[in-house]
Amino acid sequence: MAAPRIDNLQYANWSEKIFREMREGGVDAVHVTIAYHESFREVVLNLESWNRWFEIFPELIFRGQTGEDVRRAQAAGRTAVFFGFQNPSPIEEDIGLIEICHQLGVRFMQLTYNNQSLLATGCYEEDDTGLTRFGRQAVAEMNRVGMVVDMSHSADRSTLEAIDASTRPIAITHANPSWWHSALRNKSDEVLRALTDAGGMLGFSLYPHHLKGGPDCTLDSFCEMIAEAASRYGAENLGIGSDLCQDQPDSIVTWMRNGRWSKEMDYGEGSAIAPGFPPQPTWFRDNRDFPNLEAGLRAAGFSQVEADGILGENWLRFYDASFGAQT
Amino acid sequence: MAAPRIDNLQYANWSEKIFREMREGGVDAVHVTIAYHESFREVVLNLESWNRWFEIFPELIFRGQTGEDVRRAQAAGRTAVFFGFQNPSPIEEDIGLIEICHQLGVRFMQLTYNNQSLLATGCYEEDDTGLTRFGRQAVAEMNRVGMVVDMSHSADRSTLEAIDASTRPIAITHANPSWWHSALRNKSDEVLRALTDAGGMLGFSLYPHHLKGGPDCTLDSFCEMIAEAASRYGAENLGIGSDLCQDQPDSIVTWMRNGRWSKEMDYGEGSAIAPGFPPQPTWFRDNRDFPNLEAGLRAAGFSQVEADGILGENWLRFYDASFGAQT
C-alpha cells in the first residue's frame, strides 16, 4: 500500500465539497478542531454535527480513533477524521472529562489557546507561569487515557514544562520554526529541540501568518525550511498540520480570536486594516493541493521515503503510539 | 468455556465489596442503571464515576460495549459492566444525544420511567397515548446505532407500539408476568407474547414488589413461574434482570420515585407505612446468591442448557445482535 497522507490540523467550513476534495487531494486522515472556546456541553453539539456528517457521507468519511483507522481509511478510499481541541475549555474544571472526551473520540488537546488557561499559559500572555497545578494533573490524565498534549498556541516555558512533565511524546500540531519566520505563534529552536528530543512531533503550518512572506511565500522556501528543520530535528519527527480554514467566513477568525472572553476586538495575528483570513499561497489553496507538497519536498532533496514520512507516515506512527491507554 | 452468567438490571450502591461479590456469585456481566431522572450533563458525571471505578478496580470490572466483552470478562474472571438509562431524560430534546450516549457505552434506554416522557407513556399514567412523534424517531435512531429499547416501566399501548415500531427486537429488562403476580409494573400476557414473538427478551425481576408473596416469595414459586413463561414464550427469550438495589439507602428509592418532578411524596410500589426498599427474599439477597437461581431452575425441570440460556446465554445472544450499528 502507498504511504498514507495525513493533515494533522484543519478547521474547515465542512461540506460535501470539502470531503470530496480531501479524497481528490489524497488526504487519508485529518485531525479537525472541534473546540476553540466551547464548554463541554457545546462540544457535544459539535460532535453531534460530526456524527451527522458521518451518517450522511459514509463513503467519504468516518470517525478515526486509532492509527489502524488511517489504514482502514486508505484501504477504502475514505478519510478518517480525528478530533481535537485547541483549548481545554471543554474539560471545564473537571479532570474526569478528559476520559469522557477521549471516549467520544477526542485525540488531541491544546493546553492553551493564546490566553492563560486553567492548565498553562498561552503565547499571547505577557507572563508565562508554566503548568498550573491542574495542568500537571491533566497532562498525567491525558497520558493515561491516550490524549495527545498539543502546545501549538502555548508560551515557551509552559511548552517546555509540558514536554518535561508528559511521560509520552507530545505535539505541536501546527506551527513553524521562528528562525524561518518570526511570529508569536512560531516556535523557538529551543522548544523544537526539546519537543523532538523527547520524541514529539511538529506539524508544519500553511497558515499565511506563519509563513515567511505570508501569502506570497513560495513552495521552495517552505520546503527548504522543512529541509533545515529535518537537519536540526530529524525528518522522522516532522509532519504537516496545515491549519487550513477552507471556506470559512471572516466571522470565524473573529470567533477564534475573541470567543466570548473579549469585549474589545482582538485581531490576533491580523490587524484592524486586515482583520479577516489572509489568502492562502497559490500552491496550497485547499485540500486538492496536498500533492504539491510532495513535489516540493522531493525538489528540496528529500527522498521519497522521507517525503512519505513527513506527509503521513510520521503522524501515523505517532497515532499508533499515542491514542491507546498507557501501558 | 462454561456458560456466562448475566444479570441484566441492577442499581446497587456500588463498592469494592459488591464488585467482589459479583465475582463470588459468578456474575460475568451486569447491566447497570446510570440514569433515573438525570439530564445529559448529570449522566456524564455518573459515567465519570464509573470510569473511576474501572480505573481503581481493573482486575474486577471494565466497561462492556459488545457481546464479545462478556466473553472477555468471563475468560479473565472479571465482570463487564453495561450501561443503561431507565428514563430518556438524558437525551433531553435532542435525538443526536442517542448516538453520543451510545458512543459513551450506553446500551439500553427505557422510553419511560412510570410517567409520561417525551417519547411514550409510563405505566403509572392514567391514559396511554402510545409513542409520541419524537418517540417514533427515537426508536428508529436507537435501532440505527444499536441502543436497545427497554419498556420495563412503560404502559401497555406504548409497549406494543414500540415492539411494532422497532425494526430490531426490544427488551423488558426487569418485570414479571402479571398472570403470576398482579402489579402495575408486571406485564400482561398480551405484551409478553408480542415482545417475544418479535424476538424480544424478558428479564425476570427479583424486586419483592414484583414477586408473588413479596419478600416471602419462594424460589420454587419463582422458578415455576419461569417454567410457565418458558412454555408460553419460549425459554430462549427469557433472562434475568434482578432489579437488585444492593446496599442502597431508602433515600434512593425516594429519588427513583420522585426525582425532581414531584412536590408531593410519591410512594410508587411502596406506601406511607412502608416507604423504603422491601427486604429481598432469603434466596436472593445479593450478588452472591446468583447460583441459587441455577439450582431453582434445574429443580423446576429445566435442562442445564435451558438454565444456562436463562442465566446468561440468551442475553449474550441478544447483546451480540443488538449493540452494533444496524446493518
Summarised one tens digit per residue, pLDDT across range A228-257 is 999 999 999 999 999 999 999 999 999 999
Q: What is the mean pLDDT of chain A?
A: 97
Q: What is the arithmetic mean of pLDDT over B3-30?
A: 98
Q: What is the arithmetic mean of pLDDT over A11-21?
A: 98
Residues A67, B106: Cα–Cα separation, whole Å: 25
Contact (Cβ atoms closer than 8 angstroms) between residue A25 and residue A43: no
Does residue A1 carry a pLDDT above 90?
no
The confidence band for B2, taking pLDDT boundaries of 50, 70 and 90, is confident
Whether B117 is in a domain gets the answer no
The pLDDT of residue A2 is 86
Interface A–B counts its CB contacts (< 8 A) at 39
Determine the structural domain holding residue A154 and report its residue range. Answer: 6-322
CA distance B45 to chain A (A): 8
User: Which uninterrupted H or E stretch holds B107?
Assistant: strand B106-110
Q: What is the arithmetic mean of pLDDT over A61-76?
A: 98
Q: What is the arithmetic mean of pLDDT over B67-82?
A: 98
Using the beta-carbon criterion (under 8 Å), do A48 and B105 form an inter-chain contact? no
The confidence band for B151, taking pLDDT boundaries of 50, 70 and 90, is very high
Residues A14, A34: Cα–Cα separation, whole Å: 11
Contact (Cβ atoms closer than 8 angstroms) between residue B296 and residue B221: no
Does residue B54 carry a pLDDT above 80?
yes
The pLDDT of residue A272 is 93
DSSP reduced 3-state for B248: coil
DSSP reduced 3-state for A202: strand
Rounded percentage of chain B residues whose pLDDT exceeds 70: 100
Whether A1 is in a domain gets the answer no
> What are the pLDDT digits (tens) for A103-125?
999 999 999 999 999 999 999 99
Interface contact B97, partner A, CB < 8 A: yes
Does residue B286 carry a pLDDT above 90?
yes
Here the cell at position B140 is 428508529
A52: which chain B residues are within 8 Å (Cβ-Cβ)? 96
Nearest Cα residue in chain B from A52: B96
Whether B141 is in a domain gets the answer no
Give one word for B26, left, alpha or beta, with left for phi > 0 and alpha for psi -120 to 50: left
Contact (Cβ atoms closer than 8 angstroms) between residue A5 and residue A311: yes
**Residue in B44, B47, B96 nearest the CB of A48:** B96
- B234 Cβ partners below 8 Å, 6+ apart? B196
Nearest Cα residue in chain A from B41: A41
The pLDDT of residue B139 is 98
Optimal mutation site among A51, A56, A102, A144, interface B, most CBs of chain B within 10 A = A51
Using the beta-carbon criterion (under 8 Å), do B100 and A104 form an inter-chain contact? yes
The pLDDT of residue B105 is 98
Whether B118 is in a domain gets the answer no
Nearest Cα residue in chain A from B53: A96
Q: What is the mean pLDDT of chain B?
A: 97
Q: Taking CA B293 as the corner, what is the angle to CA B291 and CA B298, rounded to the nearest 5 degrees?
A: 105
**DSSP letter string over A237-270?**
GEEE---B-TT--HHHHHHHHHTTT-SSPP-TTS
Report how many domains make up chain B.
Answer: 1
Residue B81: strand pairing partners:
B30, B63
Q: What ipTM score was computed for the predicted complex, to two decimals?
A: 0.92
The pLDDT of residue A216 is 98
Whether A179 is in a domain gets the answer yes
A104: which chain B residues are within 8 Å (Cβ-Cβ)? 100, 103-104
Does residue A186 carry a pLDDT above 90?
yes
The pLDDT of residue B317 is 98
Whether A206 is in a domain gets the answer yes
**Residue in A45, A48, A100 nearest the CB of B44:** A100
Query: In the 8-state DSSP scheme, what is residue B150?
Result: E
Contact (Cβ atoms closer than 8 angstroms) between residue A160 and residue A122: no
The pLDDT of residue A111 is 98
Interface contact A2, partner B, CB < 8 A: no
Using the beta-carbon criterion (under 8 Å), do A103 and B100 form an inter-chain contact? no
Residues B208, B53: Cα–Cα separation, whole Å: 29
Using the beta-carbon criterion (under 8 Å), do A97 and B48 form an inter-chain contact? yes
A-proximal residues of B, 25-54, CB under 8 Å: 40-41, 44-45, 47-48, 51-52
**Residue in A51, A94, A103 nearest the CB of B96:** A51
Residue B202: strand pairing partners:
B172, B238
CA distance B13 to chain A (A): 20
Using the beta-carbon criterion (under 8 Å), do B105 and A104 form an inter-chain contact? no
CA A298 to chain centre: 23
* CATH classification of the domain holding B297: 3.20.20.140
B52: which chain A residues are within 8 Å (Cβ-Cβ)? 96
pTM equals 0.95
The pLDDT of residue B1 is 72
Contact (Cβ atoms closer than 8 angstroms) between residue B157 and residue B121: yes
Interface contact A105, partner B, CB < 8 A: yes
User: Which uninterrupted H or E stretch holds A164?
Assistant: helix A156-165
Whether A246 is in a domain gets the answer yes
Residues A29, A37: Cα–Cα separation, whole Å: 24
Whether A118 is in a domain gets the answer yes
As a three-state string, the secondary structure of A45-83 is: HHHHHHHHHHHHCCCCEEECCCHHHHHHHHHHCCEEEEE
Interface contact B164, partner A, CB < 8 A: no
